[in-house]
Amino acid sequence: MFIRLALPASMMLLSACTTLGPDFHTPPADLEATWGEKTHALSTGALAGDWWSVFNDPALDRLVQLATEQNLPLQIAGLRIFEARAALGIAIGEQYPQKQQLNGALTRVGLSENSPNFSKAFTDDSYAQAGVGLDAAWELDFWGRFRRGVESASASLGATIADYDNALVSLTAEVARTYVALRVLEERLAIAKDNAVTQRRSYEIADVRYRNGVVSELDPSQALSLLKSTESTIPQLESRIRQSKYALSILLGMPPGNLQDLLQGSGTIPHPPEAVQVGVPADLLRRRPDIRRAELEAAAQSALIGVAKTDLYPRFALVGSIGVVSSDTNQSDLGDLFDADSLAYNFGPSASWNVFNYGRLKNRVRVQDARLEELIVNYQNTVLQAAREVEDGLSSYFGSRKQSEYLADSVKAAQRSVDLAMLQYREGKVDYQRVLDTQQTRLRLQDSYTTVRGEAIDGLIAVYKALGGGWEIRADKPFVPGDRQRQMSERTDWGHLLDAGAPAELPASPPTGTAQPVLNAPQW
């Protein structure tokens, strides 16, 4: 009888339901139509998801692959997605009867003979009572309170996925940067060692000429000073190389000793592509995970305004209980518990309304609205910051690239100067100061040339990161490794929440009142 009456009443109430609060719309964002950098090396073609492949460096490709599989902070970001999925499941479950509770009790009751209106002639002062029943309560989503809650939790799940994607973008860029820094240091070390060999030969020549009385002791002394100065940079560079390897091993989630085989290859600084594909500024709204996260955070907060507004209106619910009760008083016996005449029930609609709240409820709505506006401003600021990061990266890349072209010519000229100065010194046409100056200049220019080439690649990596490249590679892959998922499944029943792989697209703002398809019903 309870179900026959409750269902029509609930359908009648649900048909009159409305959803309070604003429906979210993506805030406007100001972006230029084109990039500020104007050069033939800039292409508006779409950025490849695996942007690091443009360097044609197999060692870098392998490092990035391992980092995306083993990096521990990235796994933490993936685990937060599972947490958000479970939170969405809780929000969806709130739309169904909130209380479905089986209960049973066997109690012994003793009444005070001094209690008001107590009469021992008509009342047993001591008896046993047993009961088994079901209590249920269903607060109807009359104003959209629970629907807005699902909407908020769904957007929060999308924001968590965007967080994961942003971590993936940062990880791939950091692996590439660390790898390039390592190659730069290795090349600088090779330059220092090569110059040390040349300077030692020059010192030996100056020393022989001094011993033969051709020159003064000043020449070998200057040569030895330059040699030792150059050799002193070698331990520092070797130390920085070790530190870079340690940093790379942390990104890969592995001990540094396992890196040696992975770093085999050309060992040179990666070469930039002829043309850089950057798309157009409007692509940032689709590509950048942090922009998507800012939008989804605002969407989640917008739904909370509706949740807060529902507290201003009455709440309607269907409540009831059904069960059997028996005692050992009068003609009854505990053995009669499951007899037909032991049936007891109560059911019906209920309503409650928070009144005289002294403005507390309205101010809660205002708090949620202010938070939404903060997140809208944050979204717009994130868009502007993204565009600035791209422009900064482009400026740095093309500036360093042009500088490296000049330095390449300088290095060639410096090498020629060293050869000529040494030849003329042997012939006695110039003093050793000329040799010393040319060798110092060559070392400085070679080191600068190597450093600037690294800075150019670093600027290009910054461009790719600012464009939001790198997260696409996780399509159809698990958010955390399979062995970790198995551990979680063995420890806890996760149902189907660990099954769904990563979607191929960035998460979208959920339509009003709908839930993610991964969770469309509570797990009873």
Is 50 exceeded by the pLDDT of residue 1? no
Dihedral sign (CA 247, 252, 253, 257): negative
Residue 365's pLDDT band (cuts 50, 70, 90): very high
Least confident of 33-37, 83-87, 460-464: 33-37
In a domain, residue 130? The reply is: no
In a domain, residue 105? The reply is: no
Q: What is the pTM assigned to this prediction?
A: 0.85
In a domain, residue 335? The reply is: no
More confident residue, 149 or 109: 149
Please report, for the domain that includes residue 233, its CATH number: 1.20.1600.10
Residue 77's pLDDT band (cuts 50, 70, 90): very high
Distances (CA, A) of 96 to 15, 100, 113, 300, 351: 16, 10, 46, 21, 17
In a domain, residue 443? The reply is: yes
Nearest alpha-carbon partner for 498 in 69, 165, 78 = 78
In a domain, residue 295? The reply is: yes
Three-class DSSP labels, 206-237 = HHHHHHCCCCCCHHHHHHHHHHHHHHHHHHHH
Q: Identify the domain containing residue 166 by its residue range.
A: 2-98+143-313+361-491
Residue 119's pLDDT band (cuts 50, 70, 90): low
Output the pLDDT for position 152: 93
In a domain, residue 519? The reply is: no
In a domain, residue 109? The reply is: no
What is the per-residue pLDDT across 143-161, written as a single tens digit (0 to 9) for each? 999 999 999 999 999 999 9
What is the per-residue pLDDT across 425-459, written as a single tens digit (0 to 9) for each? 888 888 888 989 999 999 999 999 999 999 999 99
Alpha helices in 253-359 (DSSP H): 284-287, 289-310
Q: Is residue 48 helix, strand or coil?
A: coil
Output the pLDDT for position 409: 94
In a domain, residue 116? The reply is: no
Q: In what order do the strands lie in the sheet with 343-352?
A: 99-110, 126-139, 315-327, 343-352
Structure tokens at 479: 């958010």
Q: Are 172 and 65 in contact (CB under 8 A)?
A: no
More confident residue, 119 or 302: 302
Give how many domains the chain has, as a whole number: 1
Output the pLDDT for position 5: 46
